[in-house]
Amino acid sequence: MKKSVLIFVTLFLLGSSLLFSQEEINVDVIIEDAMKDVEKAMEEIEAKKITVKMDFSSNGPKMGVYLSDLDFKDIYEMHYNYNYGVLITGIVPGGPSHKAGLIKGDIVMEFDGLKVKYEDHLVRLIKSKNMGDEVIVKVFRDENILETTLVLDTLGKKPEKGITFVEGVKKKRFDVGNGGGSWYPIWYMPDVEEINEILSGLEFQDETFSEDGFLIQGGGGQGNVGKGWFLGGMGAGYSNKETTKHDWPNYKNGFYDTTTVSRKAEYYVNFWGVTLDKRFAMSEKFIGSYGFMIGGGQNGIKISQTDDNGEVNNFDFDGELNDQMDSQYDFKSKLSMEQDFIIFQPKIMFMYHILDWLGIRAEAGYILSYSPGGWKGKRNGESVKLVNAPEAKMDGFTLCIGPWFGF
């Protein structure tokens, strides 16, 4: 696109000079030389990353700014509540706007008392003035409306030709999105070593629950609240059960006996909270963010022991109901322990968008936890004090990789 514009401009200038010239000129030679100049200029553009600025009326009045029409993202992020105005995306050092105190990011609302509708409208208003004219410019900056006096002037030395090369490229701004949500598959690595030690003492295997982490399921979402900040919420949970057999010593009918019983252990953990993230766009489809989640969490263990009398017979409601209950369900014992936490999770995220509405999201974080009340225990439904209980905090690394719906 840049090459096409440069070639067109070069041919236009050459054609104009031929039209008004009285001399005979070899057109083929001129076009060949012009093409070489264009190619050389393009090489300089790629090497220096400079912007080509067309300036066919260099003697006219100038503000010395780079402009862009406002889009929805600009209006939303800057909390701009008006349906007119032009965004300043750059300032020419030493130019009239620079001297008047205007800065990049200002929105020009009025020029000499007239509302500015769009970029070309402001350009026409500037051209309608004369060199040295003083104009009042009203701008929007940081949710405040300011006024300044600007003296229209040139931008320096008159160019030799109609094309000037101005150092400093107008940076392309990429969209950070508006929000969305998804399912969260999270690999979570809390410290369960003390819990496994307890279960090992109850004749479960040495590592009943994996100490390398496990996959928990959850979901969440967030929305853009302005200036790249995203507010949302999330929650996730996990539970797992293991069983073992135990020879239960007891007295039955006055005689010492052992009965094989079934022991079951359940470990569960869940957390939830409010999230706040600052997004930044690295390209049109690749964005990142850093932020945190603050909220609550809970983990716990339930251990139950049930008399196992072998195969359980069918229950006959025409028979002796009490006898049937006593014969198959004559013993049961339960111990449960649970603690509540306040949690804080710093995290970073990277997302790649495959489609406008679908992306792949990867997030890493670390959960920090604090339990103000400690463990709460119950034995066979009655509250009991847990002596020498393990600490078993929720601290641990988290890694989530999954889809993201929205942007």
- Give the per-residue pLDDT at 106: 93
Are residues 339 and 281 part of one domain? yes
Are residues 362 and 344 part of one domain? yes
Are residues 159 and 79 part of one domain? yes
CATH number for the domain spanning 207: value is: 2.40.160
Q: Which residue segment(s) compose the domain that 11 sits in?
A: 1-48
In degrees and rounded to multiples of 5, residue 187 shows phi and psi of: -85, 120
In degrees and rounded to multiples of 5, residue 39 shows phi and psi of: -60, -40
323 contacts 313 by C-beta, under 8 angstroms:
no
Are residues 123 and 74 part of one domain? yes
Are residues 191 and 158 part of one domain? no
Q: Which of 116, 136, 171 is the last residue of a domain?
A: 171
Q: Which of 171, 191, 214 is the last residue of a domain?
A: 171
Are residues 16 and 109 part of one domain? no
60 contacts 123 by C-beta, under 8 angstroms:
no
407 residues of the chain, pLDDT tens digit each: 444 544 444 544 445 444 444 444 454 555 566 566 656 655 554 444 444 444 444 567 888 899 988 887 788 888 898 889 999 999 988 889 999 999 999 999 999 999 998 888 999 999 898 888 999 999 999 989 999 999 988 775 444 444 444 444 445 567 888 899 999 999 999 988 888 888 888 888 878 888 899 999 999 999 999 888 999 999 999 999 888 887 777 666 667 777 777 888 899 999 999 999 999 888 888 999 999 999 999 999 888 887 655 555 666 667 776 665 555 444 577 888 899 999 999 999 999 989 888 999 999 999 999 999 888 988 887 888 888 888 889 999 999 999 999 87
Are residues 335 and 271 part of one domain? yes
Are residues 153 and 289 part of one domain? no
Are residues 283 and 254 part of one domain? yes
Among candidates 114, 116, 133, which has minimal Cα distance to 68?
Answer: 116
Are residues 159 and 33 part of one domain? no
Are residues 342 and 385 part of one domain? yes
Q: Is the dihedral of CA 50, 52, 58, 62 positive or negative?
A: negative
Q: Which of 113, 144, 171 is the last residue of a domain?
A: 171
Are residues 257 and 215 part of one domain? yes
Q: Number of folded domains in the chain?
A: 3
What distance in Å separates the CA atoms of residue 43 and residue 66, rounded to the nearest whole number?
23
In degrees and rounded to multiples of 5, residue 316 shows phi and psi of: -105, 110
CATH number for the domain spanning 109: value is: 2.30.42.10
DSSP secondary structure letter of residue 62: B
